[in-house]
Amino acid sequence: MDLHGKRVLVVGLGKSGVAAVRLLAARGAQVIANDLRSESELGEAAAAVRAAGAQLVLGSHDPALFTSVDQIVLSPGVPPMPALDAADKAGVAVASEVELASWFIESTVIGITGTNGKSTVTTLIGEMCRHTGRPTFVGGNLGTPITDVVGSDAAKLGGYVVVELSSYQLERVDRLRVNVAVLLNVTDDHLDRYPSFQAYAHAKANIFRGQHKADFAVLPEGDELCHRLAEHGAAEQYVFGGDSGSVRVIDGAITDIATGVLLPVSALRIKGKHNVDNACAAALCARLAGVPKQHIVAVLESFTGLPHRMVHVADVDGVAYYNDSKATNVGATVAAIDGLAGSAKRIVLIAGGKDKGGDYQPMRERLHAHAAAVVLIGEAAPIIRAALSGESFPIENAESMEAAVFAARKLAKPGDAVLLAPACASFDMFRSYAHRGDAFVAAVQALEGDK
């Protein structure tokens, strides 16, 4: 797309917004950068925008500004607002940062979305692609903005672009074409932003919207909702897992029906049924993208997982401590509990944080079967306590992560596991889920020092 001389407004100056400003300026657009924060609050981001030659308009989202430009590019965190409604009414084109990047990518695009497991599957696929020696970009919601890939070898024919896509990033896409798109699952999440679960699911479905018949849609076996959502595009559908997936577990081994046995499940270094499913999904996506079997196997047998995702921190007095701070919704917490249910006698769960509007009933069902106790933190503590009302296991509140770990230690017995899987966002008490996980690790390490 020719952007030279066009007035383009970038809304939201986080990492993705700043990356979009740089790309647009490099393509000759007249860029205006807009954010509610002041220049002092933006700090280095404001300096980067000025260095790119863009105009800064800060402190408000003025509808008059939004209707005076040729194109608007949104950062992922920008919510619906009256100024965007005015732009839509005036016929101004609005695109996500992901959509912008897609206009300049010629290589094979592999997109990963879903409520849970995105980062693990994205990283697995990315490593499989890199193992081939072909230029590979891995990013999106995982960390590096996708606009940063434009102009690199990975964005040219022969390269791979492996991108984790959140529902936010998929809200404003029109021509985004994902050659291999996987929807891992859809469960309650971000209902503090979306008016309904259906609206959230519809955003996820946009990953399929621009697919052609020559592309591939990868879905979990037996998930009717995911299969309905994939019908938004024209791609051929493949399934993973279950009893009929193209890649599934057969006789204790992860097996690709097209290429044969990949790896015994016992040799997989990431644990839990959900991670077996993640491995199956990644292997299928990589094969459909043209990655040879030997590279898929090499990564499956060496991958040890990502930080703050079901990481075994320590064993203290016969109790195992696990950090799954990335479990920021109920579905992820359920998966974490299921992953430990076979190895731990009982589970002491540390949960809570900023509530996201989800239904805690599935978590209650797992805790009823597997919990020794629950320790609650953060703003959502009273909401979760109410959802668990009537259960027989102890429920305690803690004012800090250190206090939560101390309480969990008292409640756990040898053979049990203490699991941080909060089912909530972190922003009431912490800067991020990583900050929350680090606090948990530090508290557990303090326990070790007390031995």
Q: Which residues are catalytic?
A: 118, 141, 190
For residue 26, give the H/E element and its range: helix 15-26
Nearest to 206 by CA among 176, 163, 236, 238: 176
CA separation for the pair 179, 157 (Å, rounded)? 13
Strand order across the 247-250 sheet? 136-140, 160-164, 108-113, 180-183, 216-220, 236-240, 247-250, 253-256, 260-264
345 CB contacts (<8 Å, ≥6 apart)? 372, 413, 415, 416
CA separation for the pair 139, 166 (Å, rounded)? 12
**Bridge partners, 35 (sequence order):** 58
Amino acid, single-letter form, for residue 378: G
DSSP secondary structure string, 187-204? -S--TTTSSSHHHHHHHH
Amino acid, single-letter form, for residue 421: A
What are the start-end ranges of the H helices in 15-61?
Answer: 15-26, 39-42, 44-51
Cβ atoms within 10 Å of 51's Cβ, excluding its own: 12
Phi, psi of 119 (to 5 degrees): -65, -40
Phi, psi of 317 (to 5 degrees): 55, 40
Q: Are 105 and 150 in contact (CB under 8 A)?
A: yes
Give the sign of the dihedral formed by CA 285, CA 287, CA 290, CA 295. positive
Q: Are 149 and 155 in contact (CB under 8 A)?
A: yes
Strand order across the 71-74 sheet? 55-58, 30-35, 7-11, 71-74, 93-96
Residue 172 in 3-state DSSP? Answer: coil
Kind of pairing between the strands at 93-96 and 260-264: unpaired
